[in-house]
Amino acid sequence: MSDELSQPQLRQTFWTGDYYNEGSGKDGLFDKLKEECGVFGVYRHPDAASLSYYGLHALQHRGEESAGMCVSDGGEFHYHRGMGLVKEVFDKDIMASLVGDIAIGHVRYSTSGDSKLTNAQPLVFKYRDGDLAVATNGNIVNALQIRRELEQSGSIFQTTSDTEVVAHLIARSPKDLVEATKDAFNQIVGGFAFLVMTNDKLIAASDPHGLRPLTMGRLNGAYIFASETCALETIGAELIRDIEPGELLVLDKDGLREERFDHGKHRKALCAMEYIYFARPDSDLNGSNLHMARKRMGNQMAMECFIDADVVTGVPDSSISAAIGYAEQTGIPYELGMIKNKYTGRTFIQPSQELREQGVKMKLSAVRRVVEGKRVVMIDDSIVRGTTSRRIVNMLRDAGATEVHVCITSPPFKNPCFYGIDTPDRKELIASSKTIEEIRQEINADSLHFLSFEGLIEAVGGHNSSDPKGGLCLACFDNEYPTQVNFNGEEKFGCSC
Amino acid sequence: MSDELSQPQLRQTFWTGDYYNEGSGKDGLFDKLKEECGVFGVYRHPDAASLSYYGLHALQHRGEESAGMCVSDGGEFHYHRGMGLVKEVFDKDIMASLVGDIAIGHVRYSTSGDSKLTNAQPLVFKYRDGDLAVATNGNIVNALQIRRELEQSGSIFQTTSDTEVVAHLIARSPKDLVEATKDAFNQIVGGFAFLVMTNDKLIAASDPHGLRPLTMGRLNGAYIFASETCALETIGAELIRDIEPGELLVLDKDGLREERFDHGKHRKALCAMEYIYFARPDSDLNGSNLHMARKRMGNQMAMECFIDADVVTGVPDSSISAAIGYAEQTGIPYELGMIKNKYTGRTFIQPSQELREQGVKMKLSAVRRVVEGKRVVMIDDSIVRGTTSRRIVNMLRDAGATEVHVCITSPPFKNPCFYGIDTPDRKELIASSKTIEEIRQEINADSLHFLSFEGLIEAVGGHNSSDPKGGLCLACFDNEYPTQVNFNGEEKFGCSC
Amino acid sequence: MSDELSQPQLRQTFWTGDYYNEGSGKDGLFDKLKEECGVFGVYRHPDAASLSYYGLHALQHRGEESAGMCVSDGGEFHYHRGMGLVKEVFDKDIMASLVGDIAIGHVRYSTSGDSKLTNAQPLVFKYRDGDLAVATNGNIVNALQIRRELEQSGSIFQTTSDTEVVAHLIARSPKDLVEATKDAFNQIVGGFAFLVMTNDKLIAASDPHGLRPLTMGRLNGAYIFASETCALETIGAELIRDIEPGELLVLDKDGLREERFDHGKHRKALCAMEYIYFARPDSDLNGSNLHMARKRMGNQMAMECFIDADVVTGVPDSSISAAIGYAEQTGIPYELGMIKNKYTGRTFIQPSQELREQGVKMKLSAVRRVVEGKRVVMIDDSIVRGTTSRRIVNMLRDAGATEVHVCITSPPFKNPCFYGIDTPDRKELIASSKTIEEIRQEINADSLHFLSFEGLIEAVGGHNSSDPKGGLCLACFDNEYPTQVNFNGEEKFGCSC
Amino acid sequence: MSDELSQPQLRQTFWTGDYYNEGSGKDGLFDKLKEECGVFGVYRHPDAASLSYYGLHALQHRGEESAGMCVSDGGEFHYHRGMGLVKEVFDKDIMASLVGDIAIGHVRYSTSGDSKLTNAQPLVFKYRDGDLAVATNGNIVNALQIRRELEQSGSIFQTTSDTEVVAHLIARSPKDLVEATKDAFNQIVGGFAFLVMTNDKLIAASDPHGLRPLTMGRLNGAYIFASETCALETIGAELIRDIEPGELLVLDKDGLREERFDHGKHRKALCAMEYIYFARPDSDLNGSNLHMARKRMGNQMAMECFIDADVVTGVPDSSISAAIGYAEQTGIPYELGMIKNKYTGRTFIQPSQELREQGVKMKLSAVRRVVEGKRVVMIDDSIVRGTTSRRIVNMLRDAGATEVHVCITSPPFKNPCFYGIDTPDRKELIASSKTIEEIRQEINADSLHFLSFEGLIEAVGGHNSSDPKGGLCLACFDNEYPTQVNFNGEEKFGCSC
């Protein structure tokens, strides 16, 4: 079943990328990992829709493809979803129609094959007990298996989203909403943060390993849920705590009930890439600020590997913090060795191959007078296919850098993610098939260094934990997945929320 | 669950109406009945999408709110739906993506409460045996009852459309597609023309009374289905025949199979309003051209009621044919007594009350030099609430007509439709509570005349039938509905396809 | 200097045509003449902008490419112009900004080479005495000569419109506005209806031969000007009179001053094609209703040429009136032999050549049951290149007509227009090089008949005039232009207002 | 004459600001100075339009309101202008139509009163010798006086732009283009960088004091002109040199001619705010990189004023470099104390007053864990009205900062700019009426420090010059304007290019 784009004008758009993640794949200018989605929820605030708007705007970096929200006025749902950024999808008239004090919202990135409006969340359904809306961030590893079983017993599906599977499971259960939701979560395997809303209830839950972040705050008596704390800060809400692995919080007329849906104990395994790259630098994870954590990664990098160089520079925007940390620790001055054009986003025009070879650079350019004649330490967060790193190294050389030393503030990225991050096939991950020396040659660096597992765990504060992995999922580095990932011989990785 | 409009710009639009049906309700400029939907299907033509585009464009008068089509290339579905006219919803890039040789398409009108993109058809589902698309014209009287039963057994719904109910029934049946479809149609009560498509099959069916029109044609070996013959003519297809009441045609690799789903014999009851008002004048129904049929209604009217007048004029566009017929029969000259502005459709601006009172007329204006000082016979097809008729009569008087005699080419409209036409509540139908003389006074006419049942049946050629109703559903005039219309104490009239 | 389209989306649009004038040139589906522009003006009405909106909407058939209006609040101008229909160009917010009680407005058609927003009218300037806005309908034959002289003395031009030339002439004159305007009009040669507005004055003028229509009405004490009376009727204004050839009306704080700018007497020569084809059937010209005039053309045609046939049909929409006149006079029944799809306007998609050969018809289709086996008289208003006529004749034959007799309610169209109608080169006008018999063969008709000059003049009421041409410009038929048309060896025909 | 917005959708837009300059005036979230415009030119490169696209994109921070370019193919001009960002104004089809090898382009910011498409540049005219296009950055102080004289002698104006005045002066001169252009520049007084293009020539010029930057580069034999060097770097062009004050470069078939238009010698006076705030950090001015210059401003600040604090933070984005410089020099760690949401730009929705008071922050938020319990040095580039500074100081305090010390890397801003920067009235400039201590109280800082004149001149490298002002225009700080600024008793400040 192919693509349905409801906004015809988008069809002409060549999505060249976006803020954190510009372009994709082999042909993109950047081969960064794609973010997976962000969720936001409000329980009992008279400005539920407005708060969701600002909250989703703060989470925009987690998904730029579509945005949506559903609001309950106690009796009825009002909702709107669309392709594009939050500020493009909602306008004043639409906001005015989103009346109510309970809301869930969603921003979404997905692989292009699923890029359709019908997949935009929150998904909204009518079921036995009224209205039901669902928004999620993550990936369900056994979604296809469950879907086949549901189809065999007569279910029909309108989306390709995992989230629809969960809605069916809830509706099929003879139990009440909370128990039905627990049953549903016990049938699915994966990494997910989930918000479920009915006309008068809000449920928030995290998978048994807490793979995807989900946090709770309060604002004037209302409860707020968000994928990252930056969304709480943006709306002036006070951070209460992160949702625990396997936890299921219920908000209804009786207030907050803290329950669990999982049986038995699972190790905590929060996605390390959230620390390294995805989450906004002003967000906190596990009580630790991301800018500070990344600066510590830079410090650690410096302690593991001192390079005799003239300037330190970071690949904007995600590696600036680490670069400053490296500079501080080594005493080598931090400089603005490259600059990113902030007017990015969707653009119709791309340089022709010819112009690209002449050096036309729309997104990132080196600052010639900063790097000319200098030995440069270039800090970046990860290497996926290697193409972006090579391009940046060469750009610095073209601008006159005499040496370019690349320091990556994470271990080599070798394995695909099954929990919501869109990674290429294993064979496209350069670190899964090449040695560090081979990668160094491929990216044309004078030297190449990766942060150690210990350094990473130390930087995120995980060394205080009894867990040798520091409470992190490090599967993309060490291939040790916290859940079963192969069902009926099929592996379903990426994100299909 | 409230409105979802996926195209923000439409929210600002004050839908003042459209070609055949301008504005609606008490506040609209026109209180015409709303058309209910049109369907179009192609089986095995390499240009399936293009033919559907032209076919739907020809059926545009049956639904201006949304349009959609789904095409199968044998393995996969490609589909697109959007709010607006056919020419607005599809563009070159979208058309290029709709690859395949089997297609179904839909144009839709619906009451504003259901005006959402998610209700746009064809509805497309994944089910046990692959992809399933459904498009329909009509109304299912017991849809709510069936929906409740399905919800009780765990079904979830994403639309408020009756069509989704049928898709569930098909998917729930353990039988093969054709038998499952027959089972589904045997559970529903109402008036409908249905197209069902899978990856390699097309099914066309009409309700047991043939309430809604559906016709079949051929083009270069391919089969074509359309709500009206004008769509066949537009694409150059040859008309084969109308689909019979209760008939279910199956097209697959073995060619055409002519089957039936209903048990027992039902009287044919084709909607009389299709003859009187809805269908395009160049379409044929039951082998009879609509322009000619309407002209005969004018002839009949003249025979039943000769008026001593100077000019005959028809309310554009639907009553021009009848007016010419009346003029021909009486010898009173037919004149262009009023003219409709053809640049209608959605518009942002409406005259203020003040300007309206000053006589600002955007849609319809009288031709002063034609009616000034004249006794005018004004032909119209029906009176719903009476507000439009009064407005037009007064407009003719303001332009100088000395007498205005109103001739309606149908019996008084007294009862709501349960089979797909959007009619107001019975209490708003002026003829259900007022005498003809009272209506005459209300609309400020010098005299008022309705066509007799016999005259109507004669004009459409139904007098040749053994059925005293001439094979027509006349329920809106005589309150004799061909099916049960009350289920569990609830009446569901209007259209929710 | 090439095209500037300020609305990028329009660039993709294949303008396949519109209501009266569908497509153009050799490749268009229709080779109808293009309308030239419409003007509308209001002096001292508090709803000046709203009235202009409705007035321009009523004149939309005179120009569908761009629309604009300029309003004066006594001190300042407020204006807006855009590509598209009136209803597309203006929205509520824009209308709300157009504050004032004096207004001029414009709808424009132009040849594609000049299709730019900067040419959209009213043109608005700052000059010595404040603000100046100008809107016109027509063509200035010596505009290029004047423009060259102005450029030689240092003028710069931002548009390719003749209207900018007139604004320069006004600004260059040392006299006061009224005298400066008279001087300007005395320097230009051509056919034009002109509206000039300053912060507190409105001037309306017609060329010395009155080639283009311009009419004046009153509404609640305000003065209204419009290209056609239908715009007055639409807003409820009372028709006062048509502007006389060479007349210049001044409206300022002292009320209405009726002046003249031309010296000496010129014969009246109102464009005959306004009667035959352009003006709306509900408009009056010279006190004569257009529908009635066209019906008389049909009567005349019948008197000049009775054809033994079964049905009379008119090419919609412009020839319906004449067809009814022909039918009335001959007693042959008038029938709806062809029907036009009303959902036309800009569309993205055109049938492929293959589908077109299969007979896909988006705009006009024959009504098979009406013409099948019949001898058909087809009434049309003119033949330009002959391609459209051939297409329609063949369409009627394909639908089963046994004979097709073509009656054209005007003399053969042989010469280009220099006064504002976009005509092809003389060599493309079929009647300028072929005999009637040759044309008949080319269009595949059984017989072909043109209305005589006398019949045309009789039908428009011009036989009462002492002028043998009946007060009409018949140059496109008889090559006798009322003005010099060749300046410095250059002929400038078409429309460049 | 009021606003004309040709893109209706923009009317609904609440321009809340943009990348460097978010919101404006008393009610804006930010009261930053507005950038004034950017120009770009290409002489003889086959990809002239594409290079202009990327060049203008690199200069986008200099003007976000409209963009345009005009290309000459040797015989004809092709041009396009529109409201919005470069990437919004141009699409593939438009780019494909911009054929030629000479081009000039423009990005524009202007005060809202002049925010109309007709003012978008390049302005394009027809004059005596063919086509003429003009693009400029700056302000002409005596434009109104010249305009009045031109109007008196019969000129008409379509824009309110100073640039149209210059085009008139050129067209009025009896001399050839180059001499006419020199004459024009000798009549105007102000600060400007000018590009003039005809069908086969390109002229680049800078005002006699070189107030606005303009630079020249080469790419594969073609000449490139740009307001900033970052645009050269982006397209891979080699920097040749900056245009000298009073210089006029002519490019035609004979290659490059280096001429001057001014008589006598004027002191160089490049706008200091370009160094401090406007130009992109990766641009060079006078051979000095802006990031480095700003870092030196931070160093100077540190030498002039050491503060005993825990963290240094800069207001993003313009003060990051200076903050790093301050941190380096003092040894106090630089931290990410606040973060800007990168998804800004136009947005439909603004927090209500109520939500704003609750602390909803869409653009800038403090990073609580970084500043909590800390003594913070906050580096910013300038204080205009003081409102933004107060807001940021309070935001840092709300996030837990115990002390906030504000260091401004420029002297107090006391006087309006007459050379192209949009500054508020003198009375709104807080430093023109208040002492530093009063400002400190107003912005709620613990201490407030401004960089000295000497420190600023040292940082930009101007201390090597014999000029005590270091070759800078410092009028906004010291009230010593390099030109006469009052003509006929009127002062015209701001930007009206």
- In this structure, are C256 and C280 located in the same domain? no
Above 80 in pLDDT, residue C459?
yes
- In this structure, are A316 and A409 located in the same domain? yes
Q: What is the mean pLDDT of chain C?
A: 88
- Which residue type is seen at B58? A
Above 50 in pLDDT, residue C388?
yes
Please state, as a whole number, how many other Cβ atoms lie within 10 Å of the Cβ of residue C352: 12
Model confidence band, residue A110 (pLDDT cutoffs 50, 70, 90):
low
Residue D205 distance to chain C (closest CA, Å): 21
Check CB contact under 8 Å for B81 and A6.
yes
Distance CA D472, CA D274 (A): 10
Above 70 in pLDDT, residue B35?
no
CB D168 within 8 A of CB C192: no
* Single residue among B266, B294, B325 that ends a domain in this structure: B266
- Which residue type is seen at D291? H
Residue A117 distance to chain B (closest CA, Å): 9
- In this structure, are D132 and D258 located in the same domain? yes
Check CB contact under 8 Å for C5 and D127.
no
* Chain A residues touching D50 at Cβ < 8 A: 349, 351-352, 355, 360
Residue B349 lies in a domain: no
Average pLDDT over residues A202-230: 97
CA distances from C321 to B312, C299, D240 (A): 14, 10, 73
- What is the pLDDT at residue B454? 96
Both tokens of B432, joined, read 């259900």
What is the interface size between A and D, counted as CB pairs within 8 Å? Answer: 182
Above 60 in pLDDT, residue B239?
yes
Check CB contact under 8 Å for B95 and C328.
no
The sheet carrying D38-43 orders its strands as D77-83, D66-72, D102-108, D38-43, D222-226, D215-219, D238-242
Using a 10 angstrom Cβ sphere, with 0-12 exposed, 13-18 middle and 19 or more buried, the burial of residue B207 is buried
Residue C295: φ, ψ to 5°: -65, -40
Both tokens of B28, joined, read 């609209």
Span C14-25, pLDDT tens digits: 222 222 233 333
Give the DSSP letter string of D240-259.
EEEPPTTEEEEEETTEEEEE
Distance CA A137, CA A149 (A): 23
* Chain C residues touching B362 at Cβ < 8 A: 54, 57, 234
Distance CA B428, CA B133 (A): 37
Distance CA C296, CA A432 (A): 88
Q: What residues make up the domain containing A111?
A: 13-266
CB B71 within 8 A of CB B102: yes
CB B95 within 8 A of CB B68: no
pLDDT in tens, chain D (497 residues): 333 333 333 322 222 222 223 333 333 444 567 667 999 999 999 999 999 999 999 999 999 889 999 999 999 999 999 988 999 899 988 999 999 999 999 999 865 434 577 788 999 999 999 999 999 999 999 999 999 999 999 999 988 888 999 999 999 999 999 999 999 999 999 999 999 999 999 999 999 999 999 999 999 999 999 999 999 999 999 999 999 999 999 999 999 999 999 887 788 999 999 999 999 999 999 989 999 999 999 999 999 999 999 999 999 988 999 999 999 999 999 999 999 888 876 655 677 777 776 667 778 889 999 999 999 999 999 999 999 899 999 999 999 999 999 999 999 999 999 998 888 888 999 999 999 999 999 999 999 999 999 999 999 998 888 899 999 999 999 999 999 988 877 666 666 66
CB A114 within 8 A of CB A496: yes
The alpha carbon dihedral of C281, C282, C283, C286 has a sign of positive
Check CB contact under 8 Å for A4 and B156.
no
* Chain D residues touching A328 at Cβ < 8 A: 333
Residue C18 lies in a domain: no
Both tokens of A471, joined, read 């409470």
Both tokens of C34, joined, read 């293009």
Q: What is the ipTM of this complex?
A: 0.87
Using a 10 angstrom Cβ sphere, with 0-12 exposed, 13-18 middle and 19 or more buried, the burial of residue B428 is middle
- What is the pLDDT at residue B2? 36
Q: Helix (H, G, I), strand (E, B), or coil: what is residue C348?
A: coil
Chains that touch A (3 or more CB pairs under 8 A): B, D
- In this structure, are B238 and B281 located in the same domain? no
Model confidence band, residue B32 (pLDDT cutoffs 50, 70, 90):
low
Model confidence band, residue C346 (pLDDT cutoffs 50, 70, 90):
low
- What is the pLDDT at residue B10? 30
Q: Output the domain CATH number for residue A91.
A: 3.60.20.10
Residues contacting residue C348 through CB under 8 Å, at least 6 positions apart: B87, B90, B91, B92, C12, C13, C14
Check CB contact under 8 Å for C341 and B54.
no
User: Comparing A179-183, B344-348, C236-240, D236-240, which segment has the lowest mean pLDDT?
Assistant: B344-348
* Chain A residues touching D341 at Cβ < 8 A: 57-58, 60, 234
Q: Helix (H, G, I), strand (E, B), or coil: what is residue C42?
A: strand
Above 70 in pLDDT, residue B17?
no
Distance CA B38, CA C133 (A): 48
CB D261 within 8 A of CB D246: yes
Average pLDDT over residues A84-113: 87
- In this structure, are B85 and B227 located in the same domain? yes
- Active site members of C: 37
- In this structure, are B216 and B321 located in the same domain? no
CB D269 within 8 A of CB D471: yes
Give the DSSP letter string of A229-291.
HHHHHHHTPEEEEEPPTTEEEEEETTEEEEEE---S-----EEHHIIIIIS-TT-EETTEEHH
DSSP-derived pairing of the beta strands D66-72 and D77-83:
antiparallel
CB A477 within 8 A of CB A414: yes
Above 70 in pLDDT, residue A114?
no
- Degrees to nearest 5, angle at CA A241 with A240 and A247: 125
Chains that touch D (3 or more CB pairs under 8 A): A, C
SS3 content of chain B, % helix, strand, coil (to 5): 30, 25, 45
Both tokens of B386, joined, read 């009476």
* Single residue among B245, B266, B287 that ends a domain in this structure: B266
- In this structure, are D284 and D372 located in the same domain? yes
Q: What is the mean pLDDT of chain A?
A: 88
- In this structure, are C256 and C282 located in the same domain? no
When computed from its CA atoms, the radius of gyration of chain C, rounded to whole angstroms, is 23
- In this structure, are D179 and D295 located in the same domain? no
Residue A337 lies in a domain: yes
Residues contacting residue D289 through CB under 8 Å, at least 6 positions apart: A367, A368, A369, A370, D281, D282, D283
Q: Which residue has the tokens 């941190």?
A: D327
Above 90 in pLDDT, residue A223?
yes
Q: Output the domain CATH number for residue B307.
A: 3.40.50.2020
Distance CA A203, CA B382 (A): 54
- What is the pLDDT at residue C197? 98
**Could you confirm whether D230 is annotated as catalytic?**
no
Chains that touch B (3 or more CB pairs under 8 A): A, C
Span B84-128, pLDDT tens digits: 899 989 998 899 999 999 999 999 986 543 457 778 899 999 999
Check CB contact under 8 Å for D234 and A348.
no
Number of domains chain D is built from: 2
Q: Which residues of B46-82 are buried (b: 16+ CB within 10 A; e: fewer)?
A: ebbbbbbbbbbbbbbbbbbbbbbbbbbeeeebbbbbb
Using a 10 angstrom Cβ sphere, with 0-12 exposed, 13-18 middle and 19 or more buried, the burial of residue A237 is buried
Percent of chain A residues topping a pLDDT of 90: 74
Residue C377 distance to chain B (closest CA, Å): 17
* Single residue among A208, A242, A266 that ends a domain in this structure: A266
Q: Which of A87, A230, A328 sits opposite D347 (nearest CB)?
A: A87
Q: What is the total residue count of chain D?
A: 497
* Chain D residues touching C169 at Cβ < 8 A: none
CB D324 within 8 A of CB A334: yes
Closest-CA residue to B97 (of B77, B83, B117, B111): B77
Residue A331 lies in a domain: yes
Residue A497 lies in a domain: no
Distance CA A342, CA D342 (A): 8
- In this structure, are A252 and A376 located in the same domain? no
- What is the pLDDT at residue D29? 43
CB A380 within 8 A of CB A405: no
Average pLDDT over residues C224-232: 97
Distance CA C471, CA C314 (A): 27
Residue C436 lies in a domain: yes
Residue B377 lies in a domain: yes
- What is the pLDDT at residue A385? 92
CA distances from A154 to A147, B187, C2, D131 (A): 11, 17, 61, 71
CB A57 within 8 A of CB D355: no
CB D228 within 8 A of CB D279: yes
Span A12-64, pLDDT tens digits: 222 222 222 333 333 344 456 766 799 999 999 999 999 999 999 999 999 98
- In this structure, are D162 and D204 located in the same domain? yes
Both tokens of C205, joined, read 């003028």
Query: Angle formed by the axes of helices A162-172 and A177-187, to 10°?
Result: 130
Q: What is the total residue count of chain B?
A: 497
The beta strand positions in B111-167, using DSSP E, are 123-127, 130-140
- What is the pLDDT at residue B71? 98
D417 is in an annotated binding site: yes
Closest-CA residue to C345 (of C361, C366, C368, C363): C363
CA distances from B360 to B313, C57, C224 (A): 21, 11, 14
Above 80 in pLDDT, residue A362?
no
Span B181-235, pLDDT tens digits: 999 999 999 999 999 999 999 999 999 999 999 999 999 999 999 999 999 999 9
Check CB contact under 8 Å for A93 and B172.
no
CA distances from D472 to A412, A466, D409, D467, D482 (A): 51, 62, 16, 9, 10
- Which of A339 and D13 is assigned the larger pLDDT? A339
- What is the pLDDT at residue D142? 94
Residue C5 lies in a domain: no
- In this structure, are D19 and D44 located in the same domain? yes
Please state, as a whole number, how many other Cβ atoms lie within 10 Å of the Cβ of residue A176: 9
Please state, as a whole number, how many other Cβ atoms lie within 10 Å of the Cβ of residue D53: 31
Using a 10 angstrom Cβ sphere, with 0-12 exposed, 13-18 middle and 19 or more buried, the burial of residue C47 is buried
Query: Angle formed by the axes of helices B162-172 and B177-187, to 10°?
Result: 130
